[in-house]
């Protein structure tokens, strides 16, 4: 089974990159009347595409081949644009500084979810399966001010992918749903990756691919996770590594201060621990949003699911000829993501039996924020 792994040296970008268009209008909360706030979430990026397969044989010493530059170098790099996307969100803030707890900031009131306030166990689900989702209409606007940052409390990202999700039938094609949790939510820990099957979310055993309903006891117990540092190339090339957790986790989202960490990662781990492993992040806008009294405006959050902000998969580091926000090692080199199908049956599960397991990586999308006066 593929393991969810992000190289720690580049994940410092984390989560999302926000680019704002300067707004010209807004209404101060509780002050002048006549205005309101609307917020809409949209998606951009083409639908899931087929992958052009190139018959390339991997040979020892070929590690500089750009078709194999990520994760396990024995398997060809592939990326996919999700066919649909969902986001679990607790909070969204307009901030005047790089401080999530900015006392001059404004928290948008989205109302209740399922009859109670949004929380990490009861998030707002932004459903982008149809390409657009109305987050808010007729809401109160922030106080008149210039906002330079935004803040989010993120629970999970959900990707709908096309592939073979059978463990026995190589001809099967369907949609598989994965979630990567940025925040601890009940017995789901920050960093866990779950798969939807049999009408429920499931833990994924990273070696066997076995699925266990998330409502059962969490495999690996409390505070299990990858121990940093982890050398994927050495362990993968020299044989199948011994996993240190029995559920699929990422080594950034699940960072623990007790692990041996570089300085910057130790700082992130301390922040995660201080927040109870709830992902709260303040991010700079591309340009300030100016809120004025007695005016109304609409904010649009666009999720580009075809382009990630993870620097390890963009620019000169991008996999050759590949785009999307989901990466996997194509063990069979057939262009089909088959995480549960064994190699002997034509799938990617477990690797080829010689060069170790492949990896899969759900990547963060690129988000843009635009504000328009109405």
3-state secondary structure of 289: strand
Q: Name the residue among 63, 9, 71, 67 with its Cα closest to residue 356.
A: 71
Helix (H) or strand (E) holding 37: strand 37-44
Residue segments in the chain with a per-residue pLDDT below the cut of 50: 1-33, 50-56, 225-245
The pLDDT value given to residue 362: 86
Side-chain half-sphere exposure of 283, counting CA atoms within 13 A: 23
Count the domains in the chain: 1
Helix (H) or strand (E) holding 179: strand 174-181
CA distance 362 to 30: 41
pTM for the model: 0.82
Q: Which of 215-245 are b and which e, b meaning 16 or more Cβ less than 10 Å from the residue's Cβ?
A: eeebbbeeebbbebeeebeeebbeeebebeb
- pLDDT tens by residue, 310-369: 877 888 888 888 889 999 999 998 889 999 999 999 999 888 888 887 888 888 888 888
Task: Give the Cβ contact number of residue 119 at 10 Å.
Answer: 15
Q: Which residues pair with 131 in a beta bridge?
A: none
CA distance 82 to 365: 10
Q: Name the residue among 173, 221, 177, 214 with its Cα closest to residue 195.
A: 177
Task: Give the Cβ contact number of residue 372 at 10 Å.
Answer: 14
CA 23 to chain centre: 28
Phi first, then psi, for residue 271 (nearest 5°) are -65, -45
The pLDDT value given to residue 135: 92
| Contact of 320 with 67, CB cutoff 8 Å | yes
The pLDDT value given to residue 66: 72
The pLDDT value given to residue 187: 87
Task: Give the Cβ contact number of residue 134 at 10 Å.
Answer: 10
For residue 303, what are its two tokens? 């999720």
The pLDDT value given to residue 101: 94
**Boundaries of domain holding 64:** 3-373
3-state secondary structure of 298: strand
What distance separates the 2 farthest-apart alpha carbons in the chain?
70
């Amino acid at each position: 089974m593929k393991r969810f792994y992000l190289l720690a040296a580049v994940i410092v970008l984390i989560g999302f990159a926000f680019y704002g268009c300067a707004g010209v209008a807004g209404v101060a909360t509780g002050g002048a009347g006549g205005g309101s706030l609307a917020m809409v979430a949209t998606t951009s990026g083409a639908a899931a595409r087929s992958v052009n397969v190139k018959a390339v044989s991997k040979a020892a010493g070929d590690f500089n081949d750009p078709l194999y530059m990520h994760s396990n170098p024995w398997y060809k790099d592939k990326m996919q644009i999700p066919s649909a996307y969902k986001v679990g969100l607790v909070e969204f803030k307009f901030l005047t500084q790089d401080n999530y707890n900015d006392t001059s900031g404004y928290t948008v009131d989205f109302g209740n979810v399922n009859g109670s306030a949004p929380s990490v166990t009861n998030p707002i689900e932004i459903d982008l399966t149809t390409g657009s989702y109305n987050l808010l209409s007729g809401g109160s606007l922030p106080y008149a001010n210039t906002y330079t940052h935004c803040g989010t409390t993120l629970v999970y990202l959900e990707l709908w992918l096309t592939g073979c999700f059978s463990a026995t039938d190589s001809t099967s094609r369907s949609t598989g749903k994965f979630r990567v949790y940025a925040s601890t939510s009940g017995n789901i820990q920050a960093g866990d990756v779950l798969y939807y099957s049999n009408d429920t979310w499931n833990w994924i055993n990273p070696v066997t691919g076995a699925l266990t309903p998330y409502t059962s006891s969490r495999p690996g117990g409390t505070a299990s996770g990858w121990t940093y540092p982890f050398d994927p190339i050495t362990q993968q090339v020299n044989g199948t590594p011994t996993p240190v957790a029995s559920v699929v986790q990422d080594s950034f989202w699940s960072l623990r201060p007790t692990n041996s960490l570089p300085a910057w990662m130790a700082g992130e781990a301390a922040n995660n621990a201080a927040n109870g492993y709830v992902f709260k992040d303040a991010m700079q806008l591309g340009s300030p949003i100016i809120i004025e009294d007695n005016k109304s405006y609409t904010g649009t959050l666009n999720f580009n699911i075809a382009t990630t902000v993870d620097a390890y998969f963009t620019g000169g580091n991008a996999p050759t000829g590949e785009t999307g926000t989901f990466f996997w090692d194509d063990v069979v080199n057939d262009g089909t993501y088959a995480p549960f199908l064994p190699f002997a049956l034509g799938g990617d599960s477990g690797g080829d039996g010689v060069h170790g397991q492949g990896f899969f990586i759900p990547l963060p999308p690129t988000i843009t924020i635009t504000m328009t006066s109405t």
